[in-house]
């Protein structure tokens, strides 16, 4: 499988509970390399753009409120099959359905406050990375 990149967010429920290091340890243990990382406070505009595909969903307002409620850590992860590998490491969206040992099983509070985001495909990863990082901030 090819080396690829995926986009990750450690969400406000994770930064609030000081879980940045614990989650990064799970990411690195899975063989993914953190090739870019910064802690930011998302603006409403950034969150609305980022989750634009969910605009019509009933939870959209709640999701934007949550993502702007505290600091997040945005990351670029690199590795073999990084997109699917990170989806595996994260676990299911709903933590009650997530497999043992996954980030969401271990740390997520609810389906909304679920600790991490990971891109769902290589094409979306490229778009999401470009929303938050310039090329010279990513060091592989």
- What are the residue numbers of the active site? 117
H-only helix segments in the chain: 12-16, 20-29, 44-50, 60-67, 82-90, 103-107, 122-132
Size of the site for ligand ATP (CB under 6 A): 11
Beta bridge partners of 74: 9, 38
User: From residue 98 to residue 137, what is the string marking binding to ligand ATP with x (rule CB under 6 A)?
Assistant: -------------xx-x--xx-x-----------------
Both tokens of residue 86? 């990170």
d(CA 115, CA 12): 7
36 or 63: CB nearest ligand ATP:
63
75 or 114: CB nearest ligand ATP:
114
The count of other CB atoms within 10 Å of the CB of residue 52 is 9
Among 39, 44, 59, 101, binds ligand ATP (CB under 6 A): 59
Burial of 109 (0-12, 13-18, 19+ CB in 10 A): middle
Among candidates 70, 96, 68, which has minimal Cα distance to 14?
70
CB of 117 to ligand ATP, least distance (A): 4
63 or 129: CB nearest ligand ATP:
63
Does 42 bind ligand ATP (CB under 6 A)? Our answer is no
Does 63 bind ligand ATP (CB under 6 A)? Our answer is yes
Site for ligand ATP, rule CB under 6 A = 54, 59, 62-63, 93, 111-112, 114, 117-118, 120
């Amino acid at each position: 499988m090819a080396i690829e990149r995926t986009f990750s967010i450690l969400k406000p429920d994770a930064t609030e509970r000081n879980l940045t290091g614990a989650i990064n340890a799970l990411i690195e243990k899975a063989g993914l390399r953190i090739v870019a990382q910064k802690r930011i406070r998302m603006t409403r505009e950034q969150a609305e753009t980022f989750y634009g595909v969910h605009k019509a969903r009933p939870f959209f307002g709640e999701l934007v409120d949550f993502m702007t409620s505290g600091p997040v850590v945005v990351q670029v992860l690199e590795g073999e099959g990084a997109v699917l590998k990170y989806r595996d490491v994260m676990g299911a969206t709903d933590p009650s359905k997530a497999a043992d040992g996954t980030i969401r099983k271990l740390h997520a509070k609810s389906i909304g406050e679920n600790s991490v985001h990971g891109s769902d495909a290589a094409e979306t990863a490229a778009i999401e990375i470009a929303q938050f990082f310039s090329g010279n901030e990513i060091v592989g």
